[in-house]
Amino acid sequence: MYLLNKIPLIQNIKNVIKQQKRYNVHQDHFEVERKFKFDTSKVILLEKNCGKKLFDKVTFLSEKSFTDVYYDNHLENYPLTTKDIWLRNRDDKWECKTPVGLTASMDSYHELNDINIIKEFLEKKLDNNQRRSEDIRYNDDEFKDFLLKNYNLVPFCTITTRRRNYLLNDKFTMVLDTTDFGHSVGEIELIVESQDKIQDAERRIASFMKEYDWFFETEGVVMGKLLAYISRFNKKQWEHMENSNVLKKKLFPETLDNVLTNGQKHQTQ
C-alpha cells in the first residue's frame, strides 16, 4: 500500500468533509460525474502512484460499505427511474438525486437529502393536484408510509457496496465500487455550487480522464451499478427505461473527445 504522510492525509480528509458539509447545509450543490471501468490489477499502481503517467497526488481517503434501498412505483411503470430520478435510503438516510439535464455529456444531479424537501419535490413531480401534506418530522417509518400511501413507492432493489474513496490531484473525487452481486465500476466527481459551472466541470473531468487514460477505461458501454442490477434482475423496468430514452443517454454518453471539442466551441462563441 502506498504510504502517505499522516498530517497531509488528515488535512485532506478534513477539507473534503468540510466541503461536503458546506454544500449539504446550503442544499445548493450539483454533482457532475463520469463513470468508468477499471482494471483491478491497476489499483495498486494507482495507490503507489507508479502508473504509466504519474498523478500529481494520490490520496486514499477511506474504505467503507453501505447498503442502498431504491424506491419506485412498479404499478405505474417506474415514474422516477424513467426520468433519471433516484430515490434511495442509504443506511437509514434518505436521498433523492434529481437530474439537472443541461447537457448529454455526463451525469449531473442536484442531490436532495432533507426528508421534507424530498417530499415537496415528489408532490410536485408525481401529484398533478400538487397537494401539500404536513411536514414529516424526520421519522423514517413515517416517510416510508408516506411514500407507500401517497405514491405507491416501494423498494425495487437493495444493493450493498464496498467503496474505496480517493482524492486525486487535490481536486477530483474518485470512488471505486464493488457490489454484492459482483459488479464493479468507478466514478470521477466534481461538486459545483451553481448550474452555470456544470459544463466547465464536465470539461475538466474529460481532460483529466484523458490525461490518465491508462487507468480510466471509458471505451464501450460503461454500466453503473443500478443499471447493471436492473438489467439482470428486472426486465420490465429495463424495458420502460429504454422506452423513455434514459438508457440511451446513460449508456452512450458523449465521448471525452466530444466533450472537450464542444467545450472549445462554446468558449470561442
Strand partners, 213: none
pLDDT at 20: 46
Asked if residues 203 and 263 have their Cβ atoms less than 8 Å apart, the reply is yes
Grid cell digits, residue 216: 480510466
CATH number at residue 225: 2.40.320.10
Domain extent at residue 97:
6-268
Q: Which residues contact 18 (CB under 8 A, 6 or more apart)?
A: none
pTM score, whole prediction: 0.83
- Interatomic CA distance for residues 169 and 261, integer angstroms: 23
Domain annotation covers residue 1 = no
Domain annotation covers residue 191 = yes
pLDDT by residue, tens only, the chain of 269 residues: 444 444 455 555 445 544 444 444 345 678 999 999 999 999 999 999 999 999 999 999 999 999 999 999 999 999 999 999 999 999 989 999 999 865 556 888 989 999 989 999 999 999 755 556 666 665 678 899 989 999 999 999 999 999 999 999 999 999 999 999 999 999 999 999 888 888 899 999 999 999 999 999 988 899 999 999 999 999 999 999 999 988 988 888 889 999 898 755 555 44
The separation between the first and the last C-alpha atoms of the chain, rounded to the nearest angstrom, is: 47
Domain annotation covers residue 88 = yes
Domain annotation covers residue 144 = yes
Grid cell digits, residue 8: 497531509
Domain annotation covers residue 97 = yes
Q: Is the Cα dihedral 247, 249, 250, 254 positive or negative? A: positive
Residue 115 CB neighbours (<10 A) = 20
Helix, strand, coil percent content, the chain, rounded in steps of 5? 40, 30, 30
pLDDT at 209: 97
Number of independent structural domains in the chain: 1
